[in-house]
Amino acid sequence: MDNQARMMGILKPLARPSGRFYVLLVLAGAAVAWFLFYAWPFQLRYGLIVTGLADWGSGGGVPWGVYIGSFIWWVGIAHGGIIISASVRLFKIKSLAPVARLAELMTIAALTIAASFIIIDLGRPDRVVTSVIRAFPLSINHSPLIWDVTVITLYFVMTGTYLLLTLRRDTHMLYDIMTGTRLPPERRSEVYAMRRRLPPFLAPLYRRMHIGYHQSEDKKVEQMVWFLALGLIILAPLLLHGGVIPWLFQLLPSMPGYFSAIQGPTFLSIALTSAMGAVLVIAYVFRRVYGWKELLPDRTFFVLGGALAFFALLFLWLQLQQIIWGSYAPSLGVAKVTEAKVESPFYWTAIGLVGASLLYLGAQLLYRPLFSVSRTVVAGLASVLAVFIEKALFVVEGLEYPAFRLYQAVPGQYSTTWVENSAILYGVALLVLLLMVMAKVIPVIEMKAEE
């Protein structure tokens, strides 16, 4: 694939949208609007009573449900971006380079959605800014929820900076294509072909995004991005999803389903499983829609599938640890919640999906002829779904089996309402919407050719 064909391919999504694009945009937009302008205001007007939540204890419900489950799910998915990007930069895994940018965009979108679920879950979201800022200097010392907010904000800022830095060179190139006049004759037709792909109204944006750019900065930016990647690859897995997110739960002895020192690695394995799955699905959609068989080659999917297999293996292994620990000679509270877990069809659905994905992906790693891109993507989709089920179940079941066992006369029960279902749909639709819009503005594959 020569450079010209490659560039033309990369610029494809930036061209005038098709009818199908608009149809999907309207559908995704409608789902988002339905939640933001009908379901959520309904909840704001009447309170969280419109959800299936209730008080644990004598109340016979669970105070956290699918909102918190979704929050963990989306934060987990957001990890895909940086794991892939950083592995490309730090460990020179070239086969993942084509999906690096796409994964970063997914990270930004998924983090936004995750943060919104925290707001959606609050009883008084109007107070969140004033109350949190007011108490921050003190509550940062002891509230795991504030640790979360802090680390996620840091993660968001670092990922955003990372993305903006890597975009400087690309936007400079785009701006040059759009406005460059002193073109050598042999490149003219080539540049004019590319220019036709680009919507002129984006030129001012591109100009601003590479403000002060000079070619000599490329090397410096490369170094900065390298250090950011190093920071992120430590921060995101070890402190965020293997840190403050599980700490929200695992530090609470009140709920035996949460209270466990192994929650950090468990959360991380689950998060990375869903992250790899999500990147697989998104990359596949772009490959199909824009015919990017060469830009997003089979090799990339194979490697992503291999990574997914590895994380799925960890996922299942850590589940095994918990079940063995919770059933051999457990304390009463742990016994109860483990029993509930292994009797839950939801749990086995999740385990079954991940197990099946692992079996297939593992087999194709060992025996290459089994490999197919679409089957790998199906395994990815199955993993993403499995993680959603597992996460929601984890939150709810933990609260259904509290340590204070005198409450077993009023066991916690939970089922979602239409408002919560709308919120789940809103999350997915918002990801689609954000990716669609971002793909129309910035190139989702880095323009710099691989040497």
Partner 1 sequence: MEEQTMAAGGSNADRFGADWEKRASDLLRTAHYDSDLGKQVAKDALRLVGGELSEAEFFERHHGAYVKEFGTDKRPVISDERLEKALTESLQGGYVSRRTLLKMAGGGALGLLLGYWSWLGSRAAGTVAGAAQGGLPGVAGAEEEPPPVTTKQYGMVVDLERCDGCIGLGTFARCTQGCSAYNLTSPGVHWIYVFSFKDENQDAVQFLPRTCQHCSNPPCLKVCPVRARFKRPDDGIVLIDYNLCIGCRYCEVACPYGVNYFQWGEPGPEPGFPVKARDRWVEARPPRGVMGKCTFHPMWQDDKATSGRVICAAICPRQVLQFGDMNDPNSVPNQYLKKKREEKGGYISTFRLLEEWGTRPSNLYIGNQPSAKARPVTPPITYEDVGLVSKRSDVLQGPDSWLWFKNAFRGD
**Which parts of this chain interact with partner 1 (CB under 8 A)?**
38, 42, 45-51, 53-61, 63-64, 118, 121-125, 127-128, 131-132, 134-135, 138-139, 142-146, 149, 248, 252-255, 332, 399, 402-410, 413, 417-419
What's the min distance (Å) between Cβ of 50 and partner 1?
A: 4
Residue (48 or 108) nearer to partner 1, CB: 48
Q: CB-wise, 84 or 403, nearer to partner 1?
A: 403
Q: Give 379's contacts (C-beta < 8 A, 6+ positions apart).
A: 277, 280, 305, 308, 356, 357, 360, 361
| Terminal alpha carbon distance of the chain | 13
CB of 174 to partner 1, least distance (A): 42
Task: Give the nearest distance from C-beta 297 to partner 1 in angstroms.
Answer: 45
- Closer residue to partner 1 (CB): 211 or 261: 261
- What is the DSSP code string of 390-419? HHHHHHHHHHHS-S-GGGGGS-------HH
Q: Are 445 and 10 in contact (CB under 8 A)?
A: yes
Measured from the CB atom, the residue of 145 and 164 that comes closer to partner 1 is: 145
Q: In the numeric block, which tokens belong to residue 58?
A: 């004598």
Cβ atoms within 10 A of the Cβ of 153, count?
A: 12
- 59 or 180, CB closer to partner 1? 59
Q: Give least dist CB 94 to partner 1, A.
A: 43
User: What would the two tokens of residue 191 be?
Assistant: 């540049």
How far is it, in rounded angstroms, from Cα 39 to Cα 28? 15
Cα(259)–Cα(249) distance, integer angstroms: 7
Number of H helices, E strands in the chain: 18, 0
Q: Which tokens in the block code for residue 308?
A: 């997914």
Q: How far is the CB of 68 from partner 1 (least distance, A)?
A: 9
Q: Which is nearer to partner 1, 64 or 286 (CB)?
A: 64
Q: Which tokens sit at 314?
A: 């960890």
Contacts of 202 (CB under 8 A, 6+ apart): 14, 174, 178, 441
Q: What is the smallest separation between the CB atom of 421 and partner 1, expressed in angstroms? A: 12
**How far apart are the C-alpha atoms of 78 and 110, rounded to whole Å?**
5
In terms of CB distance, is 10 or 419 closer to partner 1? 419
Closer CB to partner 1, residue 13 or residue 333? Answer: 333
Q: In Å, what is the CA distance from 266 to each residue of 185, 270, 313?
A: 59, 6, 11
What is residue 55's three-state secondary structure?
coil
Question: Please, what is the minimum distance in Å from the beta carbon of residue 36 to partner 1?
Answer: 14
Residue 71 Cβ vs partner 1, minimum distance, rounded to whole Å: 11
